[in-house]
Structure 1
């Protein structure tokens, strides 16, 4: 089969190589899946760089999220078992962790439905306990993770403020449902949030960026607000001043969604049921901006790493989406 392989750590475009390799063999409790679509996530770039919390042995194939097909023809959502990631024609996955792909989503949309929306749901509901009528501030609102949080915030009855970088991404954020869009290239985030909330600030902040975004979050959060730290796409891990949290009475929350897969897998399954119901009602739908062939996988991972994309970029190893 064809698969992208990483033999040394570095930037995705430099270290990923498309090669013919052996089809992985499932172990006990695993199934072989044909990859119908593989969604590219920022962790795929971190895997290439050797900076992700999981470090598969070299050589490995990136790709942590797919829509696949079982040998008996079922469409499923799966997390491939590394080192055989999803940027390939076939993967293996744990049978017990497979989830049915929603009928209302095509293959590319289903491939982008799991990690981003589960992360958003757990962050907003399980960690921050967002309430109808509250204000949600979403950083990187035009990206895959951010756009999912925007849609889930609107579904929860929140007013959503999205932060983006540039006019094109601002348009994408508005189309995703943001009530207010802040362009960090031209607007002062703190001032704009205060203006949009009558001086109160945001009740919940969803931050997958870190760095300067976190600094703005701490200055923009409301009394008894909650900041959920989801990731550090900026590459800068902030060192928060805890005295500031004390003085302003806000809560700093961490979210490593992957822990729920081992600590509370039943919660992941329940979340998938709720998300599938929202998708069936048309309330949420992954924003797939590009569908690319397998041969363009490395270039696509690099563009996601560089923050040069909007929504989701999905690889189709076997050709056109259904």
Structure 2
């Protein structure tokens, strides 16, 4: 049966090398795709299945699609995947990112020397490695940030609303957009960035250029200019300011509410919370892109119990669960135990 099932798969992933220059190790790639907190069956996909897909073997369509999506995401928005900056003692941080030989080749030092430094048997590279890893990370961070920003700029210029939001924000910050900047945004939209090689970081958009002879480029540029001229002529009517009301960039908002009951809890995940009154503290920050306050923190701070406000228990502090976190945890635990847990039958 295994052979028959294998033969029915036709999809192949063809870009392993591109993913490896960005992720350094196969296990790093698989960690990005084999993880979905909202999918209780996600961890049933075997390591072998992912390895086959990554290495170009015929595989289920969804595995190949996830790998291709990861490639596009890391190519277009590499900043999202950057590690935190290296600590003062970067040895463990470096070991998590790549192999000793990879670092030796990246820093152009002998592999034996690098191994000696990693194991602590040699101090010849002390100070040198710290300096090199700091310089390397700064380069990687710079090109990744620039690439992600160009991708975002390209998405803004072809959408009238997002473009005008962007330009008004620039003007309210004291600057203006130029024709050259509009063309650069369009160049990013009509280009496909290259994935960044972490061993030798270079910008993803290396060859992006506005083509004056390309009719599509010219038409889109004219559209953007017309949108801008119309908005300015109408004194930005209909385009909300990027500045927060009353200059208040952050604010704290308290709320006193009551949780619901069983009719709002089909999987009975929130019994300890039924009809309890609680107070919450919400921190809000103004988002200049969406022109709204976005919640940055939400905490349950007290519970009404027999007419007395008290500190929440650990469960109460987590708040109402809509059905994913606790439900999938129960489902996975049930599957592991091979029975029925909490009244939820294995699917």
Judge same fold: TM > 0.5, yes or no. no
Computing the radius of gyration from Cα coordinates, the structure with the larger value is 2
Looking at secondary structure, tell me which structure has more helix per residue: 2
The alignment's TM-score, normalised by the length of structure 2, stands at 0.20
Higher relative contact order (CA 8 A, sep 6+): 1
Looking at secondary structure, tell me which structure has more strand per residue: 1
